[in-house]
Chain A
Amino acid sequence: MKVYLDHNATTPLDAKVLAAMLPYLTERFGNASSLHAWGQEARQAMEAARTTVARALGSRDKDTIVFTGGGTEADNLALVGVALAQQAHGRHLIVSSVEHHAVLHAAAFLGRQGFEVTRLPVDAEGLLDPEAVRQAIRPDTVLVSLMHGNNETGVLFPVAAIGRICRERRVTLHCDAVQSYGKLPLDVEALQVDLLSVSAHKIHGPKGVGALYIRRGTRMQPLLHGGAQERSRRAGTENVAGAVGLAAATTLALQDQAAAAERMAELRDRLEQGLLAAALGAVRNGHPTQRLPHTSNLAFPGLEAESLILALDLQGIAVSSGAACSSGALEPSHVLAAMGQPRHRAESAIRFSLGRGSTAEEIDRVLEVLPPLVARMRRLHSGGHAVSGQGAAAPGRPRPEAESGPEGPPGTPEPRAA
């Protein structure tokens, strides 16, 4: 039995989405900017898709939506576009320390161009105090960029409260809602955001397409220069099939949104409670309730996430250690570090992310496979290098102590800091 629990990395394309896209990859191939019938057909599909995405975000104005090449481009357009357009007014930005790299690295890029970036801390549960935003805003602040739901822990930020503060202080607010889009209701009026990023492939749409909501009147500059597509906010021939795919995925997600969220939360809790109850020394990362319905982040102190993920993969179960972009590099998670976790605990954290197609059987399969696997790895780990030869090849040096055993209750002081 194969079990895919890495939906925050990406999701399978829904067959209905593919069916909606296919005509625009084949017979309806027109360039949406062309005058002729072929172009008009494509243009119509493009604008219908724009309307769908706008409505999904509570915007009555379809022209608030700019299609992009994905969530990362949407984030970059928001940060760099606003910073460049408003730099005469000020050169200060505010982000949180747990943003996706698409925001953090775009902010760092601006930092190298002479902007000043404040990175707001989060608490041990990953929460952000909206008052911290108020205090961080300065006269020269031009942009606040904070995420809706965290990709690693699922923790939700109080965006509406932050929106009120930013509106009061007349600072542009961007929200990276890539993980929340389609899973939780999002309304740009209720949230009072000026910019909001979404992506298609996290909700069973195609990779390589996303969108940025841009409130009317927001001063921005484009990143890509060329033709006048997307009302001169994003040059380049329109990805019609991609936009249609994003819209189709959106429609499907909204149809079933509340029920799917409830189902996923129930399965997620079943998984989490099962693992927390199995005496594996597992600890939850992030606030227990203020989070996305489909994400669970658990640490197994003393074990290595890398090894656990690999062992699960050999059993046909896909999970991850955090952002997929970080896997392979396997740098310890900046999100968990910002929550004040020591490196070795952060390195033991696994992210389970469910999809709307996840089943109870899949969860039970994980509950069947993971506990004995963790027990075996703990046994081998506490044995340390038991297989090493007695004749060390080199002068013996003390080895680092074995890390906390399976009995170590959550919250006990960690034995090593290195």
Chain B
Amino acid sequence: MTRDHHLEGLTVVAMSGGVDSAVAAALLVRQGVPAVGVTLRVWPSQRPVDPGERFDSCCSPAAVDDARAVAAALGIRHYVLNYEAEFDREVVQYFTDAYLAGETPNPCVACNARLKFGSLLNRARGWGATRVATGHYARIARDPASGRLLLRRAADPRKDQSYFLYSLSQAQLGAALFPVGHLPKEETRRIAAELGLAVAGKPDSQEVCFAPKDYRPYLRQRAGAGITPGVIRDTAGTVRGQHQGLALYTVGQRRGLGLGNPRPLYVIDLDPATNEVVVGEDRDLWTRTVWVEALNWIAVPTLEAPRRVLAKIRYAQEAAAAVVAPAGGGGVSLTFDAPQRAVAPGQVAAFYDAADPDLLVGGGTIRRQTAAPDQGA
């Protein structure tokens, strides 16, 4: 077999059309790393765009053009890959199924693990490349003692995205590059401006890319038949009203319930078995112990004993002190020192080391606890 000399160390940069992946590509080019850019086209190329909707988030047609322009400016090749079917199957369907099951999904986690560092990495290897780089804010390091690859928070704590990357395996981390992980966001923008990249001033994307602003209309359109109305009960078991379908509610939600009550009522539970929404007062939203499954460990091969950690149960939240402990059935229990508000099943729980808060120990998916509900604070 001929060796692909010019492909030695080729890195495929997943370019979303945003500033972070643009600068990631630029930094690699600057370092002399052979790189090609790819953009995953996750929508039909002729997707009718609602004229009122500003659809230029990640991977939209406009974003594809932006990525192409950046690659041209950097002098690297750029390919648009058709990820329509795969994105639908691996991300959108998971997102839909999770909501229908009363959970709050994390589509970015699925997209990272299954697409960018799943099938894209696999494809890249087929092309002869060895690595996939993205514009994520996180850092990879090797633990000299254990030899394991570690995932650490980004240098810029405001931008850290290690939470969304908790599920990467050692093999995936070994092939991943996060060139902007050590940069403050301002520095990323400065580099983009310095290179004259047109995307330098683009706003950060914050929303679910395929359902900007509000996911509910999208969900209705996709899974309308699976969205079944049911009853709303309070904690005493009294029926308080009707809901339009579990998928349209999230734990902690207060608005849009249409219930008259002297004190504010919140969604505290979504029960897929009975298709019931349970509401309660603010104090019913607080819990100390959370059940976590579908685990992935990064800093350690597995969790053998209870361990003090700093845990995050949603992206936009400070990590809080807790103890994570092995439990039966392949899950772990996560017990916080102080009660946490509105824990939503389906969301990721990420565990950071108590002594080294930048180090991601591992994480998993929060599951609704059916056996021994612990609602008390």
Chain A interfacial positions (CB closer than 8 Å to B): 304, 306-307, 310-311, 313-315, 328-330, 368-369, 372-373, 376-377, 380-381, 383-397
Contacts and interface: CB of A to CB of B under 8 A. Distances in A.
B98 A390 contact: no
Main secondary structure of the interface of A (DSSP, over half): loop
A388 B363 CA distance: 15
Interface residues of B, number: 49
B129 to A, nearest CB: 8
B127 interface: yes
B364 interface: yes
B340 interface: no
Interface string B99-130: 00000011001101110011101110111100
B169 A387 contact: yes
B242 interface: no
A395 B127 contact: no
B167 A387 contact: no
A384 B82 CA distance: 18
6 contacts: A373-B126, A376-B125, A385-B118, A386-B122, A391-B167, A395-B294
Interface in B1-21: 1-2, 4, 7, 10
B175 A387 contact: yes
Nearest to A371: B1
B177 to A, nearest CB: 14
B360 to A, nearest CB: 12
Contact of B36 (A314, A372, A396): A314
A380 B82 contact: no
Max chain B Cβ within 10 angstroms of own Cβ: one of A369, A381, A389, A397: A389
Contact of A368 (B2, B112, B172): B2
Interface in B35-62: 36, 45
Contacts of A372: 1-2
Nearest to A379: B126
A184 to B, nearest CB: 34
Contacts of A376: 125-126, 128
A310 B297 CA distance: 34
Contact of B82 (A330, A368, A391): A330
Contacts of B127: 307, 310-311, 314
Contact of B109 (A307, A329, A386, A393): A393
Nearest to B367: A395
A311 B114 contact: no
B126 A393 contact: no
B113 A388 contact: yes
A391 B364 contact: yes
B2 A380 contact: no
A380 B169 CA distance: 17
Contacts of B371: none
A303 to B, nearest CB: 8
Nearest to B129: A314
Nearest to A330: B82
Contacts of B114: 385, 388, 393
A227 B82 CA distance: 45
Interface stretch (B73-81, B139-147, B231-239): B73-81
B45 A329 contact: yes
Given A330-B82, A387-B117, A381 B126 contact: yes
Contacts of B281: none
A346 to B, nearest CB: 13
B117 to A, nearest CB: 7
Given A314-B127, A380-B126, A385-B119, A393 B81 contact: no
A333 B170 CA distance: 39
